[in-house]
């Protein structure tokens, strides 16, 4: 009888040890205050933050990418920022491998990994454990495709892999990410088609989504552009170019950096820059919304003090007042007066935080 009990205990222990560790994901479109919410949650529950942003991984892409500052971090450790050379492409596959190691180290410290960002592919790759096709980059093919129009890239992919072409069209809400189009053509050219992604979940996750209504998002986008211009966003672009970042690569990085390149090249004026960038960011927001809509189970909120309290309660229930290794968190964190208000100063006025 004792032997049976011992065997059952071992089985239960084995089952428990195989249980997925918990992470908190804060996602949603740009300009919704994700970074500040992540800091609040991290301070409240003993967490450390993993940025999931495809441009904030690059060194020197600060103002243009909306990278969080040391002051805004409020002492909370942040990872996956400033880890890559902007002259070279950093892939979602590389991110998932690097970020997984970071998350595991956070868990070893009895902390909760908080994944925060608007790059849906990065988040999915890390949380869902997506395994990407191991096809090496073809520099010659990429150079040839770089001069092809987006419409013709789509037609080329349709001829190689219709399913993948339609998937990219749906993911972008009718618009296309050129980098993903080119990568898909590259894979399909080498192995005949883009195979379905294989995944095995790395974590158990609760997904918190932040979003505003269209009018508010557009207003916040414009405010953010003007604020960053005053802080020297164009000077940042100029410095990047002087340090060897080619205009072509800046266009590949997109949005702020692509339009900065156009200004510095003399192709558009500063006045045109603001409106063109605001319009492109708005289209980017729509693509982000389309991506996140595919994932079931995201709990969406309009950022507000009352909703932050609701989010706090959801996270508390999810982690069960325990950290990633099962140790109790009650009484672990002192109150922080900054937790009461999620706002930053902008030109002497309080306003809602922009991520």
What are the beta bridge partners of residue 345? Answer: 350
The pTM for the full model equals 0.79
Shared domain for 27 and 174, answered yes or no, is no
Q: Is residue 354 part of a domain?
A: no
Shared domain for 29 and 120, answered yes or no, is yes
Shared domain for 319 and 229, answered yes or no, is yes
The owner of tokens 């010659």 is 140
Looking up residue 125, the CATH number of its domain turns out to be 3.40.50.300
Mean pLDDT across the stretch 269-281?
Answer: 96
Mean pLDDT across the stretch 68-93?
Answer: 96
pLDDT at 175: 73
pLDDT(346) > 50: no
pLDDT at 109: 96
Model pLDDT for residues 241-254, shown as the tens digit of each residue: 999 999 999 999 99
Of 32-36, 266-270, 272-276, 331-335, minimum mean pLDDT range: 331-335
Q: DSSP secondary-structure letter at 58?
A: B
Residue (of 330, 314, 333, 323) closest to 21 by Cα position: 323
pLDDT(333) > 60: no
pLDDT at 136: 82
Q: Is residue 122 part of a domain?
A: yes
> 3-state DSSP call for residue 88?
coil
Shared domain for 89 and 202, answered yes or no, is yes
Q: Which domain holds residue 251?
A: 21-132+198-325
pLDDT(7) > 90: no
pLDDT(209) > 90: yes
Mean confidence (pLDDT) of the chain: 86
pLDDT at 320: 86
pLDDT(257) > 50: yes
Shared domain for 165 and 254, answered yes or no, is no
For residue 125, count other CB atoms closer than 10 A to its CB: 26
pLDDT(229) > 50: yes
Shared domain for 28 and 88, answered yes or no, is yes
CA 287 to CA 273: how far, in whole Å? 21
pLDDT class of 340 with cuts at 50, 70, 90: very low
pLDDT at 18: 63
pLDDT at 321: 55
The owner of tokens 């209504």 is 213
Shared domain for 32 and 61, answered yes or no, is yes
Shared domain for 102 and 218, answered yes or no, is yes
Residue 27 to residues 116, 138, 192, 211, 227, Cα–Cα distance (Å): 6, 32, 34, 9, 23
Q: Is residue 143 part of a domain?
A: yes
- How many structural domains does the chain have? 2
Q: Is residue 27 part of a domain?
A: yes
Shared domain for 32 and 91, answered yes or no, is yes
Shared domain for 111 and 230, answered yes or no, is yes
Model pLDDT for residues 129-178, shown as the tens digit of each residue: 998 888 888 888 988 988 899 999 999 999 999 999 998 888 766 778 88
pLDDT at 169: 85
CA 55 to CA 95: how far, in whole Å? 12
Shared domain for 175 and 206, answered yes or no, is no
CA 251 to CA 90: how far, in whole Å? 15
Model pLDDT for residues 40-74, shown as the tens digit of each residue: 999 999 999 999 999 999 999 999 999 999 999 99
Shared domain for 115 and 249, answered yes or no, is yes
pLDDT at 173: 66
Q: Is residue 11 part of a domain?
A: no
Per-residue tokens: 190? 């080498």
pLDDT(111) > 70: yes
Q: Is residue 334 part of a domain?
A: no
Mean pLDDT across the stretch 34-38?
Answer: 97
**Phi, then psi, of 352 in degrees rounded to 5:** -65, 145
């Amino acid at each position: 009888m004792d032997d049976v009990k011992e065997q059952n205990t071992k089985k239960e222990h084995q089952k428990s040890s195989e249980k997925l560790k918990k992470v908190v994901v804060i996602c949603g479109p740009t300009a919704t205050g994700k970074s500040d919410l992540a800091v609040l949650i991290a301070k409240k529950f003993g967490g450390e933050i993993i940025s999931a942003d495809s441009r904030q991984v690059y060194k020197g892409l600060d103002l243009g990418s909306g990278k969080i500052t040391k002051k805004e971090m409020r002492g909370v450790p942040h990872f996956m920022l400033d880890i890559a050379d902007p002259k070279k492409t950093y892939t979602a596959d590389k991110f998932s491998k690097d970020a997984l190691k970071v998350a595991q180290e956070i868990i070893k410290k009895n902390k909760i990994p908080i994944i925060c960002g608007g790059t849906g592919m990065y988040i999915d790759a890390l949380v869902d454990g997506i395994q990407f096709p191991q096809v090496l980059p073809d520099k010659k093919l990429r150079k040839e495709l770089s001069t092809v129009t987006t419409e013709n890239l789509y037609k080329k992919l349709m001829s190689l892999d219709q399913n993948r072409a339609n998937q990219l069209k749906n993911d972008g809400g009718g618009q296309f990410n050129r980098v993903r189009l080119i990568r898909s053509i590259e894979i399909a050219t080498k192995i005949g088609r883009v195979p379905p992604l294989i995944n095995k979940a790395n974590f158990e996750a609760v997904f918190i989504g932040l979003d505003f209504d269209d009018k508010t998002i557009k207003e916040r986008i414009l405010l953010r552009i003007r604020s960053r211009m005053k802080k020297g966003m164009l000077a940042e672009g100029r410095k990047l170019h002087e340090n060897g970042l080619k205009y072509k690569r800046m266009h590949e990085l997109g949005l702020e950096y692509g339009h900065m390149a156009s200004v510095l090249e003399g192709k558009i004026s500063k006045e045109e820059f603001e409106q063109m960038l605001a319009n492109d960011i708005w289209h980017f927001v729509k693509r982000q919304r389309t991506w996140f809509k595919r994932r079931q189970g995201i709990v969406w909120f309009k950022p507000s003090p009352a909703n932050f309290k609701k989010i706090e309660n959801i996270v508390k229930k999810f982690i069960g007042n325990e950290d990633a290794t099962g140790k109790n968190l009650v009484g672990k964190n002192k109150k922080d007066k900054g937790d009461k208000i999620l706002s930053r100063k902008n030109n002497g006025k309080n306003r809602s935080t922009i991520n």
